[in-house]
Amino acid sequence: MKKFLMAAAAAGALLVSGSAAMAEAVKLQLKWVTQAQFAGYYAAAAKGFYKDAGLDVTILPGGPDINPQQVLAGGGADVVVDWMPSALATREKGSPVVNIAQPFAKSGMMLTCRVDTGIKTPADFKGKTLGVWFFGNEYPFLSWMSQLGLPTTGGPDGVTVIKQGFNVDPLLQKQADCISTMTYNEYWQLIEAGMKPEELITFKYEDQGVATLEDGLYVLEDKLKDPAFVETMAKFVKASQKGWDYARANGDEVAQIVIDNDASGAQTLDHQKRMMSEVNKLTEGSDGTLDVAAAERTVETLMKGGSDPVITKKPEGAWTSVVTDKAKTLQ
């Protein structure tokens, strides 16, 4: 009897080992560091949604020295999180990246200005100093300034652009009149630093009609020729959406999951809870399917760059529904 039990246990171990070995490995490269901006993926991993789908997902945090598209092109990831302006610019330069899903339905980007600068409308940007993130994040801003007719080379008739670090110091130290912020992150950093809401005025890209799609999922075009890869990505997208749905229903719990995955120890639970609440507003209503009309508006915005547009022509094949269509058929 004892030998039978040992044999059964051994067989069970082999079965579990075999199942683990059969799990499909997926590497996901994030656009930025571990934070609630990517909560859906961490939730999907922590709650077993990826495992249930037969996936072994490795989530790779980003940072100021990590370009998701370069990681993708170099084979360091199977799928990456990126903003569409950066992806389209990359595609036009020769790297065939394709949007396969769009968990974020809205943009969280905005310019936040000090009220004491006298800025009341975008027309008041003229002659002011504005902080802007680069590394691909500058594209929506440059397009917006071009539409406003404001040169970004300085002077009284344009704006002076400073390359903003990934912090809010330029506004706190009055080095800039306005800085780039996200609704879910840097704006609240200003509040946490002691500024009051009435001391700030914000201009959301969504409200100004210049919003572009953010935090989509991108893969290399050639990979989509492989039905097995499409199947894997469909499982990944479906499980990830379960993660986003879970995050919207369990914000505080998922904020803690994010903290648990923050190897840097730089994040705080209170900040992640607040971020989670704001990020949920951006993913609400999305099932991961790309809104083609929103993608086309992104293209139009990026092409309105005057003499220096972000992209020079409408892209072909820059997005596909093959993965999300397949995901909808999965059990």
Domain boundaries, the chain: 23-106+213-327, 109-208
SS3 326: helix
- Six-digit token pair at 274? 């607040």
- Six-digit token pair at 138? 């500058």
Higher pLDDT, 81 or 18: 81
Which tens digits make up the pLDDT trace of 236-265? 999 999 999 999 999 999 999 999 999 999
Q: Give yes or no for residue 149 having a pLDDT over 50.
A: yes
Best CA proximity match to 56, nearest among 82, 21, 29: 21
Q: Considering the domain 109-208, what is its CATH architecture?
A: 3-Layer(aba) Sandwich (3.40)
Residues contacting residue 139 through CB under 8 Å, at least 6 positions apart: 83, 85, 86, 89, 212, 302, 310
- What is the band of 303 on the pLDDT scale with cuts at 50, 70, 90? confident
Instruction: Give residue 21's pLDDT.
Output: 53
* Mean pLDDT computed over 295-312: 82
Bridge partners (DSSP) listed for residue 203: 111
- What is the band of 22 on the pLDDT scale with cuts at 50, 70, 90? confident
Instruction: Give residue 322's pLDDT.
Output: 98
The yes-or-no answer to whether 23-106+213-327 and 109-208 have a common fold is yes
Instruction: Give residue 306's pLDDT.
Output: 62
Instruction: Give residue 11's pLDDT.
Output: 43
Which tens digits make up the pLDDT trace of 263-284? 999 999 999 999 999 999 999 9
Q: Give yes or no for residue 17 having a pLDDT over 90.
A: no
Instruction: Give residue 314's pLDDT.
Output: 94
* Mean pLDDT computed over 155-164: 93
The 8-class DSSP code of residue 174 comes to T
- For domain 23-106+213-327, give its CATH number from 3.10.20.30, 3.20.20.220, 3.40.190.10, 3.30.1950.10: 3.40.190.10
Q: What beta strand segments (E) does the chain contain?
A: 24-29, 55-60, 79-82, 97-101, 109-114, 129-132, 160-163, 178-182, 200-204, 216-220
- Six-digit token pair at 214? 């953010």
- Residue 2 backbone dihedrals phi, psi, to 5 degrees: -65, -40
SS3 43: helix
Instruction: Give residue 14's pLDDT.
Output: 36
> What's the pTM value of the predicted model, to 2 decimals?
0.88
Determine how many CB atoms are found less than 10 A away from the CB of residue 160: 16
Determine how many CB atoms are found less than 10 A away from the CB of residue 179: 28
Instruction: Give residue 16's pLDDT.
Output: 37
- Please tell me the number of Cα atoms within 13 Å of 253 on its side-chain side: 13
Instruction: Give residue 140's pLDDT.
Output: 83
* Cβ atoms of 170 and 179 closer than 8 Å: yes
SS3 252: helix
* Mean pLDDT computed over 152-172: 92
Rounded distance between C-alpha atoms, residue 188 and residue 199, angstroms: 13
Instruction: Give residue 18's pLDDT.
Output: 41
